[in-house]
Structures are given as structure tokens and as C-alpha cells.
């Protein structure tokens, strides 16, 4: 495979740096001088600047002062660094909210918020959009040709929704377009005759609300379309931001996403970006092995966003993270280093942190940073960052290489929204079911050192030997046809319980499940859906597969085979002796159906058999002990093997040939010891066929 073009064409090195807030130190510019020295000492070469700087650039409406930013841009460049410059839309100045209250977000209960916090503007407000356009264009025009500029960072972690009248009207307009201005089409798609919810006109439609807030929350189609609208509106806002930058600059544009955050469709967001980037905050206190695979999963999702193209790690914590956790557990030095290489091994081409320097006050003053309040360089976190930076300097060759996975797992935001909507009406086992099952497929492969991509329904399936469809509850007929064609031509599909139950507006298919024409693909029909998950449920069930018994954790579907061959059977309950897992030949390929929610061991064993049958094996260059994971990046004949000990114990790995150890700069072969969280990177140059 060929290498991808580097994110920064004129700086083909690992960007190593992170969020820098020099405006917080505007009264002590000597700190800026120190930062420059420390940047070099920490082996950092990048600063992400301007994310929350609006109030310091435009102190009064229309009066712009870029002088401090000019100084910072120049200084970073003079010190050998590069800048990812942010647009400041993530937080607005007070004067803007005071003069134009429409920019402030409205909560579902119709209360308009006060100015404060961040990420809380209305995405529809024409005034906010215009003010953002003006400042963005000024930034783009001013810095487009600055030699320090490496790329653009739109806003910050776009998220949330607004319920103001402007958003409501925009939602109605969005619906009009979707349903061809025909309210009866919408009434049918949302099944509104249920509880007499029929609409006479689009103007009657409000955003959904929790029932205790007094409003409509029980129409699944409405809930789903609202989520789609919020996603589209957020992406449209980002798109407009990107356009204002592109008018002046040709540097790469990104925004820091949060791949598994369900507030918008990240795959659609990725389309308006030149490069996908993500913020990562693993919870290492949960254990090295558990978190390592969770990180690898998100990385696979990130590299799938732009069909395998390397992504950016825009934020990660040097030391502790303070959000989303009830307590503050430091990461070990080993975990910090492992974390860095997990990202890169799994397809990242940058390593950036939040944050460069701890502020003296306010909400993130105790958040991990490269530079501590202490200010010295002999502390553990600074030294670890410095060490990582010294490694990255040896890795220019890795830039632009990709991962050739033969297995893919689909991840569809619409399906997730639809299933979350069902969870709200308390069919408990569907709660988190989507995320859990998607993870479970990935982990089953990760444990066997088989790389998997996380892809969308729009991705080309033909390059994969196996495509896994976890809980594909929502199924559009076009996608169903694509799946059938893939199998017909020789592909292998694995789907789970709740396959193609409903169409894309969450209307159940008539004529048997799987719907959308997939009954013939799987050669079966689901007759009933049983469930064992509820607390207090005294019944249990097991499934027998290849002579071994596995517990049913929640869903257990009663399946009628219509040509498919059973591979596993229920052991108890009403459906004792009936099939739980089936295989069906279809055209040149095969379709597998897993009708129950089992534990990780089942999926591991099931995938193991399938991998053997499909002749898929881990890289033959190595034999590794359990807990050691090997990722292979390649491009233009260059091969990099990342050997990662994702445990807290010493492990062994055997090299079956001589390979170049990139970090330690020597040739190695035979049995190698890996310290807890230890990392080795091996390099090989091969002739391309």
C-alpha cells in the first residue's frame, strides 16, 4: 500500500505538543519566554493556540487586537515549532452575549442560559454564525502565510443542542425538506396515530423532551430525526467555519472530535475535515489491559473516519485528567508511554496533549500538564513527555503509513440513536447494547492480534474478508442490498440479534425479521425475543457451541431456520434445543447470525474458529505472550511493527527473523523481554509486489 500524504506537507514529523493558552499569561510575558525554552527541552514542536481566545482578540465588538497572537506565532516559529491555530467559537466574550442574547443556548425547558462555561452557543443563530465568520476570516487572512502555521483547529469539541425558536423553526424546515413538504408522509414515518399524535402541519412540531418536562418524547421517529437534525446543524456550523478558513488558507482543517460521543454523526463531520482528530482520556485506573483495548477501539474508529487515513491525537492528558472521574489517580510512567504508542500503533500521526501549562486559577488548574505550577523540568511528567518526544524524533518514516485490516466492524450513529431511544423506554438490555457489542467484536479480534477497522455503511466492504454488523437494528433497504451483494461476491458477514428490525425512521419491517430482504441472506426468521438481563429475573439460559457452554447475558432470540445451518443451541428455557447461532451460504459467501447476547469468551471462541476457517492469522514475524499486542503499519514497502505490552507484568515476545529495533537502534531476533507497559518498534523494508 502507498503512504498517505502527511498532515503537514512541509513538516513531515510527528507533531508533539498541545493546547497552549498564552492569553492566560498576557500579564507575565516572561512566562512566554520560559515556555519557548521548555518547549524545546520537552522535545515538543507544536502548540495549539487560540482555542478560547476570543475575549482577548476582540475585546470590544469590531475592535481586534492580534498583537499578542502575532508575538506568540513568531516566537513559536523562531524556536522551531509549529502552530495549530484554533477558531475561537467554543466560548464567546461577555459583550457578545450581552448585546445579542440569541447566541445563548436555550434548554429543553425553554430557559435561555446565561453567559458562562463554554460550548453552549446556538448553532442556528445567524448572529453567532456571522460573528464567528468575521473573526475566522480575520484569523485566516492574517495567518494563512505565517511560517508557523501547520493547520487549523475548528472550535472545540462541538457538542450539545439548543431548543430556541430559531432551532425549532430550522428543525421544521429540515423536516419539510426530508418529507417533501408532505405532513402525511411524516405522520406515517413517525407512526403518529399512536396516542393521537398526528400533526396537521410542520409548524406544530417541537423538539422532543423528556416527559417530565412536558412535551413530546414518546415518538421514536421524532427523537431519531431530532438527533439527526442536531447532528446536521452542528456539522453545518463546522462546515461554515471551515469555509471561512478555506477562503484564505490551504492548510489542513480539523476539529477535535470525540468518536464515541453520540451528539453528532462523526463520519459525516469527518467529510468536512481534511484530517480527523480526536481527544482521548483513558481511565487507566481501570487496569492497563482493559484500557489499552478501549483506546485501540477508538483509534480504529478514528482511522475509519477517512478510510484508513492517519488521524491526529489532538488532546490527551500528560499526567492526570480531572474530568469524568470521581477521583484522581495518576497514570504510571509506563502507562503514559504505552498510551502514546497505542495511538500511533493504531494509526495516529500526531501526539498532542491537553495541556501544555497549568493555569493558576479556574476549572482546570489541577489538570495534568507538561509544565506544572512548579515550573521545573525535573518532575516525572515533564521528563516522561521529554522521553516520548525523543522517541518520536526517530519516527518520521512512520508518518503516512496505514494499517491493512482484513476485518471490519460497522459503527452507525443512526442505529445507536435508535437503540438509545428504545432504551429510554426501558427495554434494558438494549441500553448500551450497541456500544457494548461493537466493542465486544473488536476486543475478540484484538485479543487474537487481528487488526480490525471500524467502518460506516458507506465504506467499501469489498476490501475486507469479514464484516461484522453488531446489533444492526436500523436497516435501510439500500444498505441491506449492499450487504447482500458483498456476501454474494464472496464476503463473510456476521450479524447479531436485532438485525434489520426497523427501517430508517424506526418503523418495524413487516413480514418477518430480519427485514429489508435480509431473511434470505441469513436463511432464518426470528420468531420471538427473550431476555434474561433484568435484575430479579431468576431464569438463566446457556448456549452450547462446539461442545462448550456459554451463558446468555441478556437477549436470546427464538430462531426458525429457513435453510441456515445451526451451529449452537439453547440449553434451557422455552427454546431449549433450538438454534442460537446459524450459518448460511449465500452466493459465493457466508452469512452468520448470532441470536443471543453472550459473554466475551463466546465471541472470542467464535471468531477464533472463523479466523481459522478464513485463513487469517496474526503477523508471522512474532509469537507473543497473552497481553502483548502487535500492530503493523506499512506504506511504500516500509513496515513498522509496534509490539506493546498492555499489561502490568513482564512479558516475552519471540522474533522469528532479524528486525531493526527503531527506538533502541539495533538489530534483534529471538526471545525478547518486554517490561510492564513496555513498547518496542521494529522496522523492515520489503520489496513491494
* Residues with catalytic roles: 157, 315
Cα–Cα nearest to 411, from 511, 298, 515:
298
- Contact between 117 and ligand GAL (CB under 6 A)? no
Give the residue with the Cβ less far from ligand GAL, 87 or 584. Answer: 87
- Contact between 195 and ligand GAL (CB under 6 A)? no
Binding residue for ligand GAL (CB under 6 A) from 46, 58, 216, 315?
Answer: 315
Span of 315-323, 451-459, 505-513, 548-556 interacting with ligand GAL by CB under 6 A: 315-323
Binding to ligand GAL, residues 23-42 (CB under 6 A): none
- Contact between 323 and ligand GAL (CB under 6 A)? yes
- Contact between 156 and ligand GAL (CB under 6 A)? yes
Please state the closest distance from residue 118 (CB atom) to ligand GAL, in A: 8
Binding to ligand GAL, residues 230-269 (CB under 6 A): 256
CA–CA dist 356, 381 (Å, integer): 11
Name the region of 214 (left: φ>0; alpha: ψ -120 to 50; beta: rest).
left
**Which residues lie closer than 8 Å to 184 by C-beta, 6 or more apart?**
none
CA–CA dist 552, 411 (Å, integer): 23
CA–CA dist 522, 484 (Å, integer): 10
Give the residue with the Cβ less far from ligand GAL, 214 or 363. Answer: 363
CA–CA dist 677, 645 (Å, integer): 5
Please state the closest distance from residue 256 (CB atom) to ligand GAL, in A: 6
Binding to ligand GAL, residues 427-466 (CB under 6 A): none
Give the residue with the Cβ less far from ligand GAL, 89 or 219. Answer: 89
Residue count at the site for ligand GAL (CB under 6 A)?
11
Binding to ligand GAL, residues 268-287 (CB under 6 A): 279, 281
Give the residue with the Cβ less far from ligand GAL, 281 or 427. Answer: 281
Please state the closest distance from residue 317 (CB atom) to ligand GAL, in A: 6
The Cβ of residue 247 has, within 10 Å, a number of other Cβ atoms equal to 13
Cα–Cα nearest to 389, from 376, 400, 377:
377
Three-state secondary structure call for residue 149: strand
Q: Which single residue is written with the C-alpha cell 508518518? A: 399
Q: Which single residue is written with the C-alpha cell 492526570? A: 320
- Contact between 367 and ligand GAL (CB under 6 A)? yes
Cα–Cα nearest to 466, from 616, 617, 317, 576:
616
Binding residue for ligand GAL (CB under 6 A) from 354, 434, 486, 522?
Answer: 354
- Computed on alpha carbons and rounded to an integer, the radius of gyration of the chain in Å comes to 26
Residues 64, 66, 69, 75, Cα dihedral to 10° = 180
DSSP per-residue codes, 212-246 = GGSS----HHHHHHHHHHHHHHHHHHHHHHHHHHH
Residue 112, φ and ψ in degrees, nearest 5: -85, 135
The Cβ of residue 665 has, within 10 Å, a number of other Cβ atoms equal to 8
- Contact between 45 and ligand GAL (CB under 6 A)? no
CA–CA dist 514, 501 (Å, integer): 6
Binding residue for ligand GAL (CB under 6 A) from 56, 157, 265, 553?
Answer: 157
Give the residue with the Cβ less far from ligand GAL, 226 or 356. Answer: 356
**Which residues lie closer than 8 Å to 111 by C-beta, 6 or more apart?**
none
- In degrees, rounded to 5, the angle at the alpha carbon of residue 177 between the alpha carbons of residues 176 and 182 is 50
Binding residue for ligand GAL (CB under 6 A) from 236, 274, 289, 364?
Answer: 364
Give the residue with the Cβ less far from ligand GAL, 364 or 668. Answer: 364
Give the residue with the Cβ less far from ligand GAL, 116 or 670. Answer: 116
- In degrees, rounded to 5, the angle at the alpha carbon of residue 61 between the alpha carbons of residues 55 and 63 is 85
Please state the closest distance from residue 149 (CB atom) to ligand GAL, in A: 21
Give the residue with the Cβ less far from ligand GAL, 298 or 493. Answer: 298
Chain residues binding ligand GAL by CB under 6 A are 156-157, 256, 279, 281, 315, 321, 323, 354, 364, 367
Amino acid at each position: 500500500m502507498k503512504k498517505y500524504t502527511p498532515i503537514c506537507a512541509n513538516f513531515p514529523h510527528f507533531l508533539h505538543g498541545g493546547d497552549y493558552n498564552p492569553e492566560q499569561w498576557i500579564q507575565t510575558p516572561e512566562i512566554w519566554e520560559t515556555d519557548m525554552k521548555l518547549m524545546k527541552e520537552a522535545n515538543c514542536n507544536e502548540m495549539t493556540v487560540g482555542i478560547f481566545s476570543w475575549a482577548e482578540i476582540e475585546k470590544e465588538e469590531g475592535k481586534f487586537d492580534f498583537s499578542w497572537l502575532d508575538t506568540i506565532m513568531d516566537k513559536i516559529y523562531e524556536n522551531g515549532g509549529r502552530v495549530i491555530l484554533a477558531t475561537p467559537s467554543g466560548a464567546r466574550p461577555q459583550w457578545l452575549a450581552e448585546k445579542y442574547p440569541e447566541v445563548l443556548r436555550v434548554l429543553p425547558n425553554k430557559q435561555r442560559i446565561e453567559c458562562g462555561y463554554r460550548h453552549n452557543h446556538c448553532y442556528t443563530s445567524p448572529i453567532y454564525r456571522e460573528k464567528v465568520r468575521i473573526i475566522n476570516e480575520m484569523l485566516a487572512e492574517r495567518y494563512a502565510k505565517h511560517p508557523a502555521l501547520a493547520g487549523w483547529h475548528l472550535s472545540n469539541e462541538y457538542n450539545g443542542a439548543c431548543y430556541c425558536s430559531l432551532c425549532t423553526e430550522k428543525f421544521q424546515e429540515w423536516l419539510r425538506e426530508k418529507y417533501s413538504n408532505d405532513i402525511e408522509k411524516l405522520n406515517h414515518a413517525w407512526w403518529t396515530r399512536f396516542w393521537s399524535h398526528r400533526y396537521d402541519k410542520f409548524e406544530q412540531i417541537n423538539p422532543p423532551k423528556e416527559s417530565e418536562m412536558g412535551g413530546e418524547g414518546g415518538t421514536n421517529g421524532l427523537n431519531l430525526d431530532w438527533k439527526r437534525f442536531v447532528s446536521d446543524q452542528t456539522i453545518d456550523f463546522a462546515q461554515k467555519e471551515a469555509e471561512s478558513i478555506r477562503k484564505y488558507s490551504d492548510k489542513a482543517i480539523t476539529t477535535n472530535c470525540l468518536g464515541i460521543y453520540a451528539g453528532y454523526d462523526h463520519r459525516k463531520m469527518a467529510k468536512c475535515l481534511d484530517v480527523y482528530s480526536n481527544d482521548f482520556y483513558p481511565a487507566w485506573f481501570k487496569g492497563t489491559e482493559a484500557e489499552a483495548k478501549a483506546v485501540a477501539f477508538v483509534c480504529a474508529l478514528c482511522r475509519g473516519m477517512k478510510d484508513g487515513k492517519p488521524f491526529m491525537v489532538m488532546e490527551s492528558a500528560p499526567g492526570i485528567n480531572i474530568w469524568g472521574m470521581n477521583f484522581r489517580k495518576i497514570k504510571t510512567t509506563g502507562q503514559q508511554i504505552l498510551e502514546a504508542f497505542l495511538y500511533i500503533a493504531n494509526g495516529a500521526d500526531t501526539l498532542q496533549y491537553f495541556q501544555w501549562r497549568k493555569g493558576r486559577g479556574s476549572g482546570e488548574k489541577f489538570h495534568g500538564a507538561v509544565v506544572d505550577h512548579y515550573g521545573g523540568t525535573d518532575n516525572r511528567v515533564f521528563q516522561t513527555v521529554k522521553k516520548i518526544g525523543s522517541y518520536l524524533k526517530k519516527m518520521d518514516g512512520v508518518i503516512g503509513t496505514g494499517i491493512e485490516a482484513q476485518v471490519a466492524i460497522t459503527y452507525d450513529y443512526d442505529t445507536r440513536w435508535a437503540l438509545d431511544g428504545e432504551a429510554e423506554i426501558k427495554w434494558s438490555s438494549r441500553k448500551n447494547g450497541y456500544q457494548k457489542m461493537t466493542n465486544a467484536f473488536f476486543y475478540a479480534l484484538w485479543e487474537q492480534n487481528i487488526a480490525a477497522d471500524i467502518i460506516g455503511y458507506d465504506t467499501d466492504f469489498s476490501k475486507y474478508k469479514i464484516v461484522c454488523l453488531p446489533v444492526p437494528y436500523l436497516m435501510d433497504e439500500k444498505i441491506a442490498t449492499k450487504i447482500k451483494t458483498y456476501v454474494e461476491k464472496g464476503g463473510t458477514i456476521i450479524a447479531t440479534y436485532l438485525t434489520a428490525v426497523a427501517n430508517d425512521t424506526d418503523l418495524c419491517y413487516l413480514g418477518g425479521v430480519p427485514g429489508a430482504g435480509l431473511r434470505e441472506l441469513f436463511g432464518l426468521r426470528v420468531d420471538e425475543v427473550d431476555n434474561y438481563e433484568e435484575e430479579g429475573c431468576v431464569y438463566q439460559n446457556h448456549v452450547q457451541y462446539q461442545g462448550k457452554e456459554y451463558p446468555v447475558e441478556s437477549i436470546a432470540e427464538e430462531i426458525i431456520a429457513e435453510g441456515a445451518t445451526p451451529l449452537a443451541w439453547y440449553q434451557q428455557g422455552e427454546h431449549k434445543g433450538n438454534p442460537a447461532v446459524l450459518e448460511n451460504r449465500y452466493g459465493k459467501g457466508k452469512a452468520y447470525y448470532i441470536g443471543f447476547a453472550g459473554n466475551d469468551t463466546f465471541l472470542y471462541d467464535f471468531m477464533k474458529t472463523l479466523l481459522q476457517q478464513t485463513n487469517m492469522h496474526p503477523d508471522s514475524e512474532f509469537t507473543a505472550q497473552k497481553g502483548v499486542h502487535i500492530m503493523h503499519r506499512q506504506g511504500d514497502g516500509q513496515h513498522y511493527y509496534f509490539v506493546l505490552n498492555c499489561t502490568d507484568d513482564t512479558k516475552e515476545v519471540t522474533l522469528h527473523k532479524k528486525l531493526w529495533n527503531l527506538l533502541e537502534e539495533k538489530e534483534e531476533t529471538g526471545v525478547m523481554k518486554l517490561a510492564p507497559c513496555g513498547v518496542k518498534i521494529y522496522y523492515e523494508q520489503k520489496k513491494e509486489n
